[in-house]
């Protein structure tokens, strides 16, 4: 697999010698954190054929069955305070739309904040984790973990996910997982170059891809449920929602989950 991925990257690609492949791992994000703490350089990429403890947002698990998806984490070391990286997950999400479009021939949408969707079903997700150096207040490392379902049939998903989850092949693409992984790596590298200097461009692209905008949504925060309409995404990736009681609220991805009024999207 690693050989095929490398074959899809241009000669001289700067992160080429920093890609590590695991047949099976607990979680590429968990391992990336350990490597980052040991000093792994900017651009280190971990890819797994299978994860036994794949992690999703808000403490959820991410189903990562063997050789059916791309499970990938990248370690970045942008030298800035964390406040300058509020848009990181949005930028990564746009990069993943670019990667899928390049590898599979169609562009997925983004369900705020970081789910890739096609045909109203989830194709993949992103989990971003940040560590800040206490002495400088600057980012020590950021880990962006991405899982994209590639070859699952509907029956491969657990029954409770079958109405909500899809894969590239179920969406009609004939896929090569190595080509998908390489497209993801190239897109992450382009994103990294633009990250701190082209924030406006990245967020405009995010708003274009975000299918949540204009939708009636349910905002779930713990036991609380709020109904409203998604109006916009602010420059930090917060979702601005007009609630039914007339209040306008900006919600951030770490605290709430947003559903469509009539289902997952």
Shortest reach from residue 245's CB to ligand BTN, in Å? 29
Q: Is 237 in the site for ligand BTN (CB under 6 A)?
A: no
| Contacts for 245 with CB less than 8 Å, ≥ 6 apart | none
Q: Is 90 in the site for ligand BTN (CB under 6 A)?
A: no
Calpha distance 243→230 (Å, rounded): 9
| Residues 94-123: x where in contact with ligand BTN by CB under 6 A, - otherwise, as a string | ---------------------x--------
Q: Beta 44-51 vs 19-25: how paired, if at all?
A: parallel
DSSP 263: B
Interface residue with ligand BTN among 43, 49, 56, 78 (CB under 6 A) is 56
Q: Is 212 in the site for ligand BTN (CB under 6 A)?
A: no
CA 124 to chain centroid: 7
Interface residue with ligand BTN among 5, 28, 92, 151 (CB under 6 A) is 28
Calpha distance 69→56 (Å, rounded): 15
Shortest reach from residue 45's CB to ligand BTN, in Å? 11
Query: CB atoms < 10 A from the CB of 236, how many?
Result: 14
Q: Is 49 in the site for ligand BTN (CB under 6 A)?
A: no
Q: Is 55 in the site for ligand BTN (CB under 6 A)?
A: yes
Calpha distance 265→145 (Å, rounded): 22
Interface residue with ligand BTN among 5, 40, 43, 73 (CB under 6 A) is 73
Q: Is 145 in the site for ligand BTN (CB under 6 A)?
A: yes
Shortest reach from residue 171's CB to ligand BTN, in Å? 17
Nearest of 244, 220, 218, 216 to residue 230 by alpha carbon = 216
Confirm if 154 and 162 have CB atoms less than 8 A apart: yes
Residue tagged 């074959």 (tokens) = 7
* Backbone angle region of 137, left / alpha / beta, with phi > 0 → left and psi within -120 to 50 → alpha: left
Of the candidate spans 64-72, 162-170, 179-187, 250-258, the one that interacts with ligand BTN by CB under 6 A turns out to be 64-72
Shortest reach from residue 11's CB to ligand BTN, in Å? 27
Calpha distance 95→202 (Å, rounded): 9
Q: Is 87 in the site for ligand BTN (CB under 6 A)?
A: no
Interface residue with ligand BTN among 8, 57, 77, 259 (CB under 6 A) is 57
User: Please, which of residues 147-206 interact with ligand BTN by CB under 6 A?
Assistant: 147
Interface residue with ligand BTN among 7, 23, 60, 136 (CB under 6 A) is 60
In this complex, which beta carbon is closest to ligand BTN, that of residue 61 or of residue 248?
61
Cα atoms in the 13 Å half-sphere on the side-chain side of 194: 20
Nearest of 176, 182, 146 to residue 10 by alpha carbon = 182
Q: Is 221 in the site for ligand BTN (CB under 6 A)?
A: no
Calpha distance 62→125 (Å, rounded): 8
Residues that bind ligand BTN (CB under 6 A): 27-29, 51, 54-57, 60, 62, 64, 71-73, 115, 125-127, 145-147
């Amino acid at each position: 697999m690693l050989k095929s991925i490398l074959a899809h990257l241009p000669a001289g690609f700067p992160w080429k010698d920093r890609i590590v492949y695991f047949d099976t791992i607990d979680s590429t994000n968990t391992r990336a954190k350990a490597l980052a703490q040991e000093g792994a350089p900017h651009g280190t990429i971990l890819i797994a054929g299978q994860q036994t403890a794949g992690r999703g947002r808000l403490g959820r698990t991410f189903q990562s069955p063997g050789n059916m998806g791309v499970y990938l984490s990248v370690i970045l070391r942008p030298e800035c305070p964390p406040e300058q990286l509020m848009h990181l997950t949005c930028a990564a999400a746009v990069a993943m739309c670019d990667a899928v479009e390049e590898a599979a021939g169609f562009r997925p949408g983004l369900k705020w904040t970081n789910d890739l969707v096609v045909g109203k079903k989830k194709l993949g997700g992103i989990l971003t984790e940040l560590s800040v150096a206490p002495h400088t207040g600057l980012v020590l490392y950021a880990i962006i973990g991405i899982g994209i379902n590639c070859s699952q049939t509907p029956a491969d998903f657990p029954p409770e996910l079958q109405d909500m989850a899809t894969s590239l092949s179920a969406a009609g693409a004939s896929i090569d997982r190595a080509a998908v992984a390489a497209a993801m790596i190239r897109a992450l590298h382009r994103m990294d170059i633009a990250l701190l200097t082209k924030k406006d461009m990245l967020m405009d692209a995010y708003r274009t891809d975000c299918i949540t905008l204009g939708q009636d949504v349910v905002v779930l925060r713990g036991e609380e449920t709020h109904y409203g309409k998604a109006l916009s995404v602010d420059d930090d990736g917060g979702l601005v929602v007009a609630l039914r009681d007339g209040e306008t609220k900006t919600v951030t991805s770490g605290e709430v989950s947003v559903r469509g009024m009539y289902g997952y999207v």
